[in-house]
Structure 1
Amino acid sequence: MDDERGAAQAPSEHQLALLHAAAATRRTTARATSYDGPELPVAQVAVDVGLPHLDRPFEYAVPVDLDDTALPGARVKVRFAGKDVSGFVLARVREAEHVGKLTDIRRVVSPEAALTPAIARLCREVADRYAGTFSDVVRLAVPARHAAAEKALDAKVEGADAPSPDNGGEEHAASAAPDPTSPGTGAWGRYPAGPAFLHRLGSGGAPAAAWLAAPTTDPVLDWPTAMAQAARATLDGGRGAVLVVPDHRDVDRLDEALTEQLGPGRHVRLTASQGPQARYTAFLKLLRRHVRCVVGTRAAAFAPVADLGLVAWWDDGDDLLGEPRAPYPHVREVLRLRADHEGAGLLSGGFARSVAIQQWVQQGALQSVDLPVRRAAVPRVIVAGDERDVERSGAAARAHLPSAAWRAAHEALQHGPVLVQVPRRGYLPSLRCDTCRDPARCAVCHGPLALTGSGQTPVCRWCGVPATPFDCPNCHSHRLRAGVVGARRTAEELGRAFPGVPVVRSGAGEVVAHVSSSPALVIATPGAEPVAAQGYRATLLLDAWALVDRPVLSAGEETLRRWCAAAALTRSHDDDGVVVVCGVRDDEPLPVVQALVRWAPGWLAERELAEREALALPPAVWMAGLTGDAPAVASTDRGVGDGFERIGPLAHPERDGTVQERLLLRTSLEDGPRAAAALHAARAGRSARKEPGSVTVRVDPAGDLL
């Protein structure tokens, strides 16, 4: 093995095809007696070790008996540091750079080329972009092998010809839905730039669009149908599509729309909830080109779709699109890299627009596709607690359920369901001192106190220690009051306010996908709102201050994103739909409330980006966060070197009561690649020296981590 080697170049698609063709020929014909070894005897292997200083390929010898199976992309077992470890063959070459004897590959786990050249290059670039390691990204990109899935799919193909991605289901799709590229037809027909976007996808172009979806309760015009029609236009043009959505409910909706547009069997689902065999089977169908379209959650961004023509994702601001495991890549960046390298079209859609996407629009990387929204085509928005409400209802105008919200719900329940969005789940997830109004904190770890049910003892949400008795450190009062009312307590209150009306709760652990059009109160936390048949008659956004006043950088854009997602499930003003915003401050106008009232998410994104640029905050600058033990953070900081602005280090309390340090590094966007390389080198140096302690490195930290 060579310990001084740089990264190997992955073979091209043409070279890979030649290698596989040569191997197939050798498997079906007898070897010549003069043949005494492989034509390409050296394999460059990416070893799954995860240490930053070993983040490079290593050379191994290919035994004669493995020549036909140890091909680029295959999983292998090799000897490394005295142990058998897994790896992927990246390339086969004639000569080794290492001058000594090479260690043989131990065995080929599977000859399936699970890591294609395009995905290998993508993994390398994602690792470099986020100062991570290649092996960490490959774990996200390639699911674990499932031998039973390989055998079952092989047997199925032997029993019947594999469906062709070029013509499978064409007749069904043609009869099931009109041509989405025809002017005036399909969900894209109402957008001025929609038909042109589909035409470019179908003709082999690579359009890049930031799509602000117009709200509608008509499933024929809603966003799942629009994304499915974009995928259909791409497939009709002979190319593949990758569609990524935040959660399984969105996957279900888009899966149904794709089946309607493409016909059965022309796409697959790829999610973590499928189970190992189902997930690997879907992965193999894409790898073997049985299908060319995939819909799934964030892992589907790495799906090995052949002849890629479209990458699309929905609701860019949703935190589920950010990977919670190292190196923490975001779907947005992964798919942008794929589109750039594979010449594919790009589509980022949502009812609101994130600041990162707005930056791409202003840079000219994306073209805005939106629809000038008529006020009558969106729900009417009422802000409860204004001066007129106070004159009419007194203190009730600013209660937890204001009088304006009660009247709207009472009237709407005569005709259909009412959605109530509550910022937090639980009963009383946040408590305050009843005397001085300071947040109630745990005496052990200083975590927030919460009440889990009526008559229960307040407990710490972090360490679980009961607060008996509570003693406010500021005024020494023993009395508590609600800080934020959770979904369960809200359901109790509304059940008493509207007796006889069914109450449906949807939240973590009990998410409801759909509700009927009959009258009901639907209490949901953000992101868990069920879809109502024919839309909700009214939507109440309770405790708006709990979202707006969060001490995080992304509070404004995240609040509007959540509100727009709920309002988009509500009927339009023409159809008597209304949205009531409850609990906002009346001392000054809030931009996020104005954006909702005017239905102007693009305006708020422009405003937020301008403020970030003025304050030199992401995404206007490159930034990375280092969190860990103080000596480890200091060591990594020294390894990074000069040329960066430091913010901190500052104490960072964890939920388990421990205190770590956090240091932020900041530089210009143009200097970002150099900064990421310096971070990786600093981590590699600590790893090689076996320094104690750990450091979590997050490039482009999310708004709630700054």
Structure 2
Amino acid sequence: MSDPGSAEQLSLIRAALPKAPRPTKAADQELAETDPVAAVVVDTGLAHLDRPFEYLVPAALAETAVPGARVKVRFAGQDLDGFLVSRKAAAEHDGRLAPIRRVVSPEPVLTERQLAVARAVAARYAGTLGDVLRLSVPPRHAAAEKALSLEPPAPDPLPAPSGPGPAWSRYAAGPAFLSRLTAGDAPAASWLALPTTDPAADWPAALAAAAAATVAGGRGALLVVPDHRDVTRVDAALTAALGPGRHVRLTADQGPQARYTAWLKVLRGHVSVVVGTRAAAFAPVRDLGLVSWWDDGDDNHEEPRAPYPHVREVLLTRAAVEGAAVLSGGFTRTVAVQQLVETGTLRPISAAGPVRGAVPRVVVAGEGLELERDPAAASAHLPSVAWRTAKAALETGPVLVQVPRRGYVPSLACQTCRAPARCAHCSGPIAVTGRGAEPACRWCGRGVGRFECRQCGGRELRSSVVGARRTAEELGRAFPGVPVHTSGAGAVLDRVAATPSLVIATPGAEPVAEGGYAATLLLDAWASLDRPTLDAGEEALRRWLAAAALTRGSASRGQVVLCGAPGHTTLPVVEALVRWDPVWFAARELADRAALSLPPTVVMAAVSGERRAVEAALVQAELAGTTERLGPLPLPDDAVRMLLRVPLADRDALAASLTAMRAKRSARKEPVSVQVRVDPPDPAT
């Protein structure tokens, strides 16, 4: 065998490689007669080059080089992708211009309104236009592009309008909101949904009815929900309300061809309604009349890639640019949405009458007479009141048990001082992965061996949190003969039957029960409340209400038992659950944050990286005098985070300063990068 590094072998490899095309001089090409200059947004990935560049349009590409098309251009000695954003008669650049190399596809995938929205989102989050375009326009799939007809098919007649129906008639402003959508107006509302076990009146049906009212007025609708299970429910409701073929699903997990086909159907006007996850927030709906999102507090709405936009802000920006109506819905209301309500940006839509009969009765273990019957009820994993409630409910239907942690025993603590148990090697948390398993580190996998507490020297371990699998095991023994289902990471159930069974689920993975759950147990409430985050109470209430909303109303004897809530004091979040009053809690939380100058009543940005790099970046940012600096906060790997706080009125100025800083560092080719994040979900993490 010849040496792979020999000269002969290398020459053979070079001969087999495709030849790079030689650059063609613009002077040697005939240019387009009309508007021979194109502005192209080039995907350079560099902040200081985040602007359109001018190129010449050869005559051979005059018909296909249309605004919005994908093109290939020569940039810094490389062929790079880009979007042609405009054509003009003369160039602003005085130097020599290079020609467009080729048009990848004449499909105008970047519309004028999409470009305006992308620029606004990039400016708000101190990001680059290229980053936002990568989120808003999916990669091209040539086969999907060729297979789909250019002209939309003739649609089937819309179903006859049936008025607000049961989905919106329960809300005082519901019928008026639908009427305004049909009339072509642009109302903006925060909708507090009522729980129900009737599919025709549940929130997916309400979203579908809003979309149908918008379509009846000759416009399109965009509905964004947290996950694929919600997409499936709304998809079925849209089919019932609009008929088949009038909407598409758009999610990131569809696969390249299916996702691009759905996206093209929207772009070419085959459909006017889209339901999807955050990947659908930029869908190019023609004549957009309604943008709506469900469950604002779900972290699936937070984009994990730069510039980290939230679905709420993307859709509000689209509504402002395209003149669309806004509908934010949920069983609870986040502090951010409450601020929009109090400032008049959104108008509230709530129940027309008392909600007590529609919602389940909520009992807090360890309060009132239950404390006398069971003194350990407040701290027990499964108090006696929860056991009695489950036993009685299993006679008429399924029982939901929400557990805040997955796994078996995901967290152990010292038996003596209750300090969290940590691995002696890497300081990771110690857990038990299954029945009969030895305690081991969740980070490095090493066994504990002989445990010794770092705080008090204790040698005994106790469980601090019981996971879903251990809970299922315990309940299986407590209720012999009753089927036990688990729903969580890796195995999420969509639905369960109306027959008696126990369903153990982690937050967000609760399946829908036919006819609703007879009872719901919310275990280990303290584990949700003890999270070291700014929104711990807000998130706990969101999780509890989402599970409770799957339960039958009190008129049908549905009951919810909250277990593990601190018994030494009355917590507002627990009171809001018992009273089913999330608006009161959101308003209280917003007032507290205003008093403490915390988001969303102020604007915060986080600049993270190596200490010297962060310090240099803040100097380069040339921040305004109103900017308050908090930190630096230590991070792993010797990194730090500096928090910047400004009043709401200075949001644009702060974002502009951070954008200019990023451009300076990019132009200087700084060897150490820093991360910039405007409106981080939790400034301390």
TM-score, scaled to structure 2: 0.93
TM-superposed CA distance for 1:460, in Å, is 3.0
Q: Distance in 2 between matches of 1:113 and 1:463?
A: 50
1:163 matches 2:153:
yes
Cα distance change on mapping 1:230 and 1:396 into 2, 3 Å = closer
1:136 matches 2:115:
no
1:604 matches 2:599:
no
1:198 touches 1:233 (CA, 8 Å); kept in 2? yes
- The residue aligned with 1:677 is 656
Cα distance change on mapping 1:705 and 1:529 into 2, 3 Å = farther
TM-superposed CA distance for 1:51, in Å, is 1.2
1:267 touches 1:295 (CA, 8 Å); kept in 2? yes
Q: Give the unaligned 5+ runs of structure 2.
A: 1-29
1:270 touches 1:297 (CA, 8 Å); kept in 2? yes
1:282 matches 2:272:
no
1:47 matches 2:45:
no
1:397 touches 1:404 (CA, 8 Å); kept in 2? no
1:53 touches 1:685 (CA, 8 Å); kept in 2? yes
Spell out the pairing of 1:593-672 with structure 2 (5 A cutoff): 593-642=574-623, 643=625, 644-653=627-636, 658-672=637-651
Alpha-carbon deviations, 1:541-587, whole Å to 9, x = none?
A: 00000011211100111111111100000000010100000001111
1:401 matches 2:396:
no
Number of aligned positions between the proteins: 653
Q: Distance in 2 between matches of 1:677 and 1:580?
A: 49
1:170 touches 1:262 (CA, 8 Å); kept in 2? no
Spell out the pairing of 1:300-449 with structure 2 (5 A cutoff): 300-371=280-351, 372-395=353-376, 398-449=379-430
Q: Secondary structure at the match of 1:79?
A: strand
Q: Distance in 2 between matches of 1:36 and 1:344?
A: 40
Q: Distance in 1 between matches of 2:33 and 2:461?
A: 77
1:701 matches 2:680:
yes
1:502 matches 2:483:
yes
| Matched-pair identity in % | 63
TM-superposed CA distance for 1:387, in Å, is 4.7
Q: Distance in 2 between matches of 1:568 and 1:261?
A: 23
- The residue aligned with 2:99 is 104
Q: Secondary structure at the match of 1:670?
A: helix
- The residue aligned with 1:5 is none
Q: Secondary structure at the match of 2:72?
A: strand
Q: Distance in 2 between matches of 1:244 and 1:637?
A: 36
Q: Distance in 1 between matches of 2:95 and 2:371?
A: 85
2:398 touches 2:518 (CA, 8 Å); kept in 1? yes
1:180 touches 1:229 (CA, 8 Å); kept in 2? no
Given the alignment, which residue of 114, 119, 124 partners 2:109? 114
Spell out the pairing of 1:511-550 with structure 2 (5 A cutoff): 511-550=492-531
Cα distance change on mapping 1:396 and 1:302 into 2, 3 Å = closer
Q: Secondary structure at the match of 2:520?
A: strand
Q: Secondary structure at the match of 1:190?
A: coil
Q: Distance in 1 between matches of 2:225 and 2:304?
A: 16
Q: Secondary structure at the match of 2:401?
A: strand
Q: Distance in 1 between matches of 2:147 and 2:683?
A: 45
Cα distance change on mapping 1:442 and 1:187 into 2, 3 Å = same
Alpha-carbon deviations, 1:23-48, whole Å to 9, x = none?
A: xxxxxxxxxxxx96331111111111
Cα distance change on mapping 1:358 and 1:397 into 2, 3 Å = closer
1:211 matches 2:191:
yes
1:398 touches 1:583 (CA, 8 Å); kept in 2? yes
Q: Secondary structure at the match of 2:366?
A: coil
Q: Distance in 1 between matches of 2:392 and 2:56?
A: 77
Q: Which moved more, 1:567-576 or 1:41-50?
A: 41-50
TM-superposed CA distance for 1:484, in Å, is 0.8
1:200 matches 2:190:
no
2:54 touches 2:97 (CA, 8 Å); kept in 1? yes
Spell out the pairing of 1:453-468 with structure 2 (5 A cutoff): 453-468=434-449
Q: Distance in 1 between matches of 2:589 and 2:156?
A: 45
Q: Distance in 2 between matches of 1:66 and 1:468?
A: 71
Q: Distance in 2 between matches of 1:659 and 1:452?
A: 31
Q: Distance in 2 between matches of 1:396 and 1:186?
A: 40
- The residue aligned with 1:28 is none
2:225 touches 2:278 (CA, 8 Å); kept in 1? yes
Q: Secondary structure at the match of 1:395?
A: coil
TM-superposed CA distance for 1:289, in Å, is 0.7
- The residue aligned with 1:79 is 74
Q: Which moved more, 1:315-324 or 1:633-642?
A: 633-642
The alignment's C-alpha RMSD in Å is 1.4
1:631 touches 1:693 (CA, 8 Å); kept in 2? no
Q: Distance in 2 between matches of 1:110 and 1:647?
A: 48
Q: Distance in 2 between matches of 1:661 and 1:180?
A: 57
Q: What letter corresponds to residue 315 of structure 1 in structure 2?
A: D
Q: Distance in 1 between matches of 2:227 and 2:411?
A: 27
Q: Which moved more, 1:624-633 or 1:675-684?
A: 624-633
Q: Distance in 1 between matches of 2:426 and 2:36?
A: 59
2:301 touches 2:311 (CA, 8 Å); kept in 1? yes
Alpha-carbon deviations, 1:29-76, whole Å to 9, x = none?
A: xxxxxx963311111111111211111111111111111111110001
Q: Distance in 1 between matches of 2:246 and 2:343?
A: 36
Alpha-carbon deviations, 1:580-608, whole Å to 9, x = none?
A: 00001111101011001100000000000
- The residue aligned with 1:478 is 459
Q: Distance in 1 between matches of 2:452 and 2:554?
A: 50
2:152 touches 2:269 (CA, 8 Å); kept in 1? no
Q: Secondary structure at the match of 2:143?
A: helix
Cα distance change on mapping 1:397 and 1:686 into 2, 3 Å = closer
TM-superposed CA distance for 1:632, in Å, is 1.9
2:366 touches 2:374 (CA, 8 Å); kept in 1? no
Q: What letter corresponds to residue 75 of structure 2 in structure 1?
A: F
Q: What letter corresponds to residue 580 of structure 2 in structure 1?
A: W
Q: What letter corresponds to residue 91 of structure 1 in structure 2?
A: S
1:566 matches 2:547:
yes
- The residue aligned with 1:15 is none
Q: Distance in 2 between matches of 1:683 and 1:222?
A: 46
Alpha-carbon deviations, 1:241-266, whole Å to 9, x = none?
A: 00000000000000000000000000
Q: Distance in 2 between matches of 1:118 and 1:458?
A: 56
Q: What letter corresponds to residue 410 of structure 1 in structure 2?
A: K
Q: Distance in 2 between matches of 1:199 and 1:387?
A: 47
- The residue aligned with 1:26 is none
Q: Distance in 2 between matches of 1:255 and 1:523?
A: 26
TM-superposed CA distance for 1:396, in Å, is 5.5
